[in-house]
Structure 1
Amino acid sequence: MTAHRERKPYRLAVAIAATMLLIAACGSDDVPETDIPAPPPETESPAEEAAAPATTTTEPSIEGTTVTLITHDSFNLSDGTLEEFTAQTGVTVELLEVGDAGTLVAEAILTKGAPLGDVLFGIDNTFLQRGLDAGIFERYESPALAGVPEDLQIDSRHRVTPVDYGDVCVNYWKDAVPWEPVTLDELTFPEFADQLVVQHPETSSPGLAFLLATIAAFGDGWELYWEDLRANGVTVTAGWEDAYYGEFISGGGERSMVVSYASSPPAEVIYADPPTDTAPTGVITESCYRQIEFAGILTGTDNEAGARALIDFMLSETWQNDVPLNMFVYPVIEGATLPPEFVEHTAVPPHPLMLDPAEIEANRDTWTERWVEIVLR
């Protein structure tokens, strides 16, 4: 076993290590958007109606305009992908990377009505409700949503559009565990003592996702579960990279289990040095929490037509087929092409865990504070 050889960090490491959850103090007092009934249309007399000339309206041309896409600093696409959008529409895309995902959402809330850009990409279901409650998005239902499964379209008012998704799961090093675990309960068994490393849920996106997974799985018993994990020697890092490339065997550490992603095993194969055809890691599929990443048109944009075109393009084959190997996530469009490594080495969770975004928003701070009391004090 080459457990302690160094491995080249794959691009997902950048994507996740950057996603610190920094918006806990940036709540908004804005009320949620509500449906306002439209006033009745003005009526004309028959004479006025007969005299009124016929009118037609045309959409303003977007060719030659620019759309600013605000995103996190782990955003990545292949060269030529955004240029293809420009070739199709005549619209140039300018990228504005504002930091991690938490900063991204906080900045959008602070600049509501006078946004720094036109489209925001990178808000996920963990913090979605905060953005929706703040009213930072315009409604838009892309025609391409017809190809997206209903269970990924969790905002029925179409203020945001699902673009990709991934599953946060416990990964294990196959050659270093007494058996390949399949349940969350096994992580508390004495045979797995001092083997699990997790991330802090207040500073790490996968750390928060794993906490939410335990709440979804155990309900009111989640606190007892974490007490058992602590008694069994769980260790905590600030972020994903510290866990995966510090404490976990993949980066030379001693721990055989880590909170990571369902897409981590194929990444181990893709970036293996020396090359390998077999993933050295496995996934506990019953531990997986689904994260859906969304894009939305920002309220106050001065190029709404161009923003809509970019949302449509995010659901095109060009974009959807490009995201797996660039951000190690899954495309949302049914029938999108997956790289062979994803097909061969990814364990797809049959029933990924999820919580309602409104429930997360209402309880997140309480849950994380209680987690700190149980695990770190």
Structure 2
Amino acid sequence: MKYLTLAAGLCAATAASAETPVLNVYTYDSFTSDWGPGPAIEAAFEDICNCDLQFSAVGDGAALIARLNLEGDHSEADVVLGIDTNLADQALADQFFVPHTLENPTLTLPIEWDNATYVPYDWGYFAFIYDNTKTDSVPANFRDLAASDLKIVIQDPRSSTPGLGLMMWVKAAYGDEAPAIWADLSDNIVTVTKGWSESYGMFLEGEADMALSYTTSPAYHLIAEDDASKSAVAFDEGHYMQIEVAAVTKSADQPELAQQFLEFMISDAAQTILPTTNWMYPAATPTAGLPEGFETLTVPEKSLLIPAEDAGSVREAALTEWLDALSQ
């Protein structure tokens, strides 16, 4: 009799499991890490969705697009989270996504946002981070940096969204002079890493004076480590923005659930999580405001951003210039 009871219990559990929809979200590695926002986002969304949210970590933003290209219409992703405005045009051209269904989402981005496909969930400014207990004199711009003896670590724009952001930053600030800036910076560059974590780790280990990161990075050290020794350099030519977005795939098995997830990502529940886990500004500032410590961050006087519709052509030209300059 106990065997029949056990079998009945297993059948009931299997049926219940089969009735729970699974939402597959592709994102980047750091989002799903133990210290990233993934675990808290998963728990908060599952509290309201009656579903099983499953994240798949797929490298960085460029790797996300490569994965979608590889899988095509057979992709298991319902949502892709982590592409930024420098890559958004490429994904649209490849027709991976369908329009979102959010009506007039309330956002607090520093620019107007009107896009039928992408929903932004956080944003930030790229910046070089330094140790203010070791470096007394910091450059005012890229020219000053190139003329200094400071050693920097950066990321490869072909594999890293921050690396791509830096390349677009130099292009947006200097235009046709960008190749000369890169040529002058080549002596300052200790190495070019595949991703952000490698280069930032080198900086923290003292292998470079500065690392490319975000103006919000010092907030992590201040809030999580009670360490005020890390600061962002303010450049007078402005700082390039990164806006990270999410979108529903055209191959989604759970399209309604996917749309619900996009709406959740700009709700107070998610936006409260992001500042102290992804260490970026929320795209829709939560009712409670920003965490204590964010008021100490460097705020650029000038914002730079190449429109998404122009990013593709600029990106290709800038990459050729970057490769040529650093190979000499």
Structures share fold, TM-score greater than 0.5: yes
- In the alignment, what sits opposite 1:323? 274
How big is the shift at 1:64? 4.4
State the alpha-carbon separation in 2 of the partners of residues 78 and 107 from structure 1. 20
User: Is residue 342 from structure 1 mapped to residue 302 from structure 2 by the alignment?
Assistant: no
Q: How does 1:155-194 map to 2 (within 5 A)?
A: 155=115, 158-189=116-147, 192-194=148-150
State the alpha-carbon separation in 2 of the partners of residues 177 and 200 from structure 1. 25
- In the alignment, what sits opposite 2:57? 97
SS in 2 for 1:270: helix
- In the alignment, what sits opposite 1:14? none
State the alpha-carbon separation in 2 of the partners of residues 301 and 243 from structure 1. 35
Report sequence identity in percent. Answer: 24
How big is the shift at 1:152? 5.5
Q: Structure 1 residues 152, 292: CA separation in 2 closer, same or farther (over 3 Å shift)?
A: farther
- In the alignment, what sits opposite 1:262? 215
How big is the shift at 1:364? 2.3
Question: Which runs of no fewer than 5 residues in structure 1 stay unpaired?
Answer: 1-62
Q: Is the 8 A contact 2:126 2:166 kept in 1?
A: yes
- In the alignment, what sits opposite 1:371? 322
How big is the shift at 1:78? 6.4
Q: How does 1:244-259 map to 2 (within 5 A)?
A: 244-246=200-202, 248=203, 250-253=204-207, 255-259=208-212
Q: 1:130 aligns with which of 81, 85, 90?
A: 90
Q: 2:190 aligns with which of 235, 247, 254?
A: 235
Q: 1:213 aligns with which of 169, 175, 182?
A: 169
Q: Is the 8 A contact 1:266 1:279 kept in 2?
A: no
Question: Which runs of no fewer than 5 residues in structure 2 stay unpaired?
Answer: 1-18
Report which stretch shifted further, 328-337 or 310-319: 328-337
Q: Structure 1 residues 64, 81: CA separation in 2 closer, same or farther (over 3 Å shift)?
A: same
State the alpha-carbon separation in 2 of the partners of residues 180 and 350 from structure 1. 17
- In the alignment, what sits opposite 1:17? none
- In the alignment, what sits opposite 2:6? none
State the alpha-carbon separation in 2 of the partners of residues 280 and 107 from structure 1. 35
Deviant stretches of 4+, over 4 Å: none
Q: Which whole-Å deviations, capped at 9, do the CAs of 1:293-319 have from their partners, x for residues lacking one?
A: 111110022322111111111111010
More helix by share: 2
User: Which residue type is aligned with residue 89 of structure 1?
Assistant: C
Q: How does 1:60-139 map to 2 (within 5 A)?
A: 64-75=20-31, 76-77=36-37, 79-139=39-99
Q: Is the 8 A contact 2:131 2:231 kept in 1?
A: yes
User: Which residue type is aligned with residue 264 of structure 1?
Assistant: S
How big is the shift at 1:87? 2.9
* TM, length-normalised to structure 2: 0.82
Q: Is the 8 A contact 1:187 1:196 kept in 2?
A: no
User: Is residue 332 from structure 1 mapped to residue 283 from structure 2 by the alignment?
Assistant: yes
Q: Is the 8 A contact 2:169 2:304 kept in 1?
A: yes
Q: Is the 8 A contact 2:84 2:161 kept in 1?
A: no
State the alpha-carbon separation in 2 of the partners of residues 202 and 300 from structure 1. 26
State the alpha-carbon separation in 2 of the partners of residues 114 and 137 from structure 1. 13
Q: Structure 1 residues 82, 203: CA separation in 2 closer, same or farther (over 3 Å shift)?
A: closer
Report which stretch shifted further, 63-72 or 162-171: 63-72
State the alpha-carbon separation in 1 of the partners of residues 87 and 169 from structure 2. 15
User: Which residue type is aligned with residue 52 of structure 2?
Assistant: T
Q: Which whole-Å deviations, capped at 9, do the CAs of 1:99-155 have from their partners, x for residues lacking one?
A: 332221122233343331211111111211110111111111413613344826253
State the alpha-carbon separation in 2 of the partners of residues 114 and 282 from structure 1. 43
SS in 1 for 2:129: strand
SS in 1 for 2:23: strand
How big is the shift at 1:162? 0.7
State the alpha-carbon separation in 1 of the partners of residues 163 and 83 from structure 2. 16
Q: Which whole-Å deviations, capped at 9, do the CAs of 1:2-22 have from their partners, x for residues lacking one?
A: xxxxxxxxxxxxxxxxxxxxx
User: Which residue type is aligned with residue 283 of structure 1?
Assistant: V
State the alpha-carbon separation in 2 of the partners of residues 150 and 268 from structure 1. 25
How big is the shift at 1:82? 2.7
- In the alignment, what sits opposite 2:232? 282
Greater gyration radius = 1
Q: Which whole-Å deviations, capped at 9, do the CAs of 1:41-96 have from their partners, x for residues lacking one?
A: xxxxxxxxxxxxxxxxxxxxxx9433222222221326554333233232332222
RMSD: 2.5
* TM, length-normalised to structure 1: 0.73
Q: Structure 1 residues 314, 168: CA separation in 2 closer, same or farther (over 3 Å shift)?
A: same
State the alpha-carbon separation in 2 of the partners of residues 374 and 154 from structure 1. 36
Q: Which whole-Å deviations, capped at 9, do the CAs of 1:173-195 have from their partners, x for residues lacking one?
A: 32444524332332133xx2243
Q: Structure 1 residues 227, 95: CA separation in 2 closer, same or farther (over 3 Å shift)?
A: closer
How big is the shift at 1:236? 2.8
- In the alignment, what sits opposite 1:16? none
Q: Is the 8 A contact 2:61 2:160 kept in 1?
A: no
- In the alignment, what sits opposite 1:310? 261
State the alpha-carbon separation in 2 of the partners of residues 154 and 236 from structure 1. 38
Q: Structure 1 residues 376, 266: CA separation in 2 closer, same or farther (over 3 Å shift)?
A: same
Q: Is the 8 A contact 1:152 1:292 kept in 2?
A: no
User: Which residue type is aligned with residue 95 of structure 1?
Assistant: F
